[in-house]
Structure 1
């Protein structure tokens, strides 16, 4: 039985098991330190390196979420024999929050994921992303293709489809908040006003239980977290305005797109990736599910993701 590299073993020393049942650690990924939650298969002790033959699955969250949005998937994958991890992306919750809009450009966000895999002593992982985490996942697959074994995307279009979608009035109207977030400081103040009423309303409108919403509100309260999160939008829009749109690179690894069709922010017509740039994709729609698809349709999402991950064993 082989084990992870020495560097990875050092990073994995002395994890903390919290009351939520998950292991927690902070990992130096290069530019920043990320807080990571993980679930391991039964029988793998927290003070031991995870064997290389145990496949790694990385879950990347969106806005205004944090690692906890993947708790149901972390448990399901660990029970199925996977090493499942979910970081707080830079700027969110317990991870470091570098200052400046340029610190949140997609190349750096994708670099965080690549650095995390290196720190864990792994060369490859199955990468799963939702919302902004899906944007990051698309770019990890483009910029670090050797590190992505399979790619799963939840309710976010391929970057080219998003660009095309924003040329349509209907999608522009749905994406109004992206442009509102370009203002300095005002979006943070209004989002936090009345005990984060904006965050509460956003989730409640899509059927997220009140007790779950409190976790997201607590994460939004962390000093610097709102600015860090909104800098994702600021960095993306400023690059478009300045004509520095990231280059599109073809993705050849297997891709699964899962789409909750009741998404109020992104039209389902954008779900299908462009075949020229994503050569091996499958799209599955979940009728009745909102944008927060891994939460409101967790059983179906887990079924699809586990089935997709299991296909690696047949190739």
Structure 2
């Protein structure tokens, strides 16, 4: 039975939903834009049923977590600190970490800066930030795919545009970039409820604003065993980003789904869950030929 927690980490309250046995191997789930913990609804029961202690986190600014208004509150350093603080509050000495989209960006950074805490890392359609500039240089089309990030830098206008007519544009952003039927009206309704909470939409956009306004330290090599899962039909992220990210892993493998989009965890839950259960359940180190293992499905 899932259990909700509101964890105070130095005056900042982070909401999370926990499932699975209390003594199970812990797995922290980090969602992306513009989801909240519920984005993992097709993974949580499978992981919990397999004996994992699952913790799906509402990242700051999302869902029922606090949403400070300042752009600086959403720096990558702060987002990393949140994950570590939640793990400390739950008395987790080490944990597995799974992230999608922005949750994946944060997961890369947690694994880079706190390698001893992360047992295994799984990334779904999120680039290692160090590879963004080199990939854009080689494939200028990626710059066009990322144009929305520039729009999000404009004060107030994105908030107004995305929230008009019951968040119609934001709903369209989900339905138009996913397979038909992935986000039904019934499934969109809980998202709209969370987006409508005071300060949440601005907080969600502040992730992008903080990323470009503040110089950040390079992440460097990723030491924990890493699995990259990638939907090749992603409208915003070129598969080249996945291949370049794999090269940043000391001990990594990758599996690409040719027909899945950015929302592969919702479109292909059996495929994703199978990879998660096999990878997180391994007790041995990955056999990794240079520069990494890769396969394609679908």
Distance 1:278 1:30, change over 3 A: farther
Distance 1:252 1:132 in 2: 20
Q: Distance in 1 between matches of 2:284 and 2:111?
A: 21
* Aligned twin of 1:14: none
**C-alpha contact 2:16 2:56 (8 A) present in aligned 1:** yes
2:134 alignment counterpart: 164
The gaps in structure 1 that reach 5 residues or longer are 1-20, 42-49
1:152 aligned residue (111, 122, 126): 122
Give RMSD over aligned pairs.
1.4
The reply to whether residue 220 of structure 1 matches residue 195 of structure 2 is yes
Q: Does 1:231 align with 2:206?
A: yes
Does residue 284 in structure 1 map to residue 248 in structure 2?
A: no
* Alignment match, 1:7: none
Q: Distance in 2 between matches of 1:148 and 1:229?
A: 26
**Count of residues in correspondence between the two structures:** 280
Mapped pair 1:250 → 2:221: yes
Q: Structure 1 residue 37 and structure 2 residue 17: aligned?
A: yes
**Structure 2, unpaired ranges of 5+:** 286-298
The within-5 A match list for 1:164-183 is: 164-167=134-137, 168-183=139-154
- The separation in 1 between residues aligned to 2:234 and 2:155, in whole angstroms, is 27
Kept in 1, the 8 Å contact 2:127–2:242? The answer is yes
1:102-158 superposed Cα distances (whole Å, 9 cap, x missing partner): 110101101100000000001111000000000000010011112100000000111
Q: TM-score, normalised by structure 2?
A: 0.90
The normalised TM-score by structure 1 is: 0.85
Q: Tell me which residue corresponds to 2:290.
A: none
* Structural mapping, 1:1-315, within 5 Å: 22-30=2-10, 32-41=12-21, 50-51=22-23, 54-167=24-137, 168-205=139-176, 206=178, 207=180, 208=182, 209-239=184-214, 244-274=215-245, 277-311=248-282, 313-314=283-284
Aligned-pair distance for 1:276? 5.9
User: Kindly tell me: are residues 258 and 274 of structure 1, through their superposed partners in 2, closer, same or farther at Cα, counting changes over 3 Å?
Assistant: closer
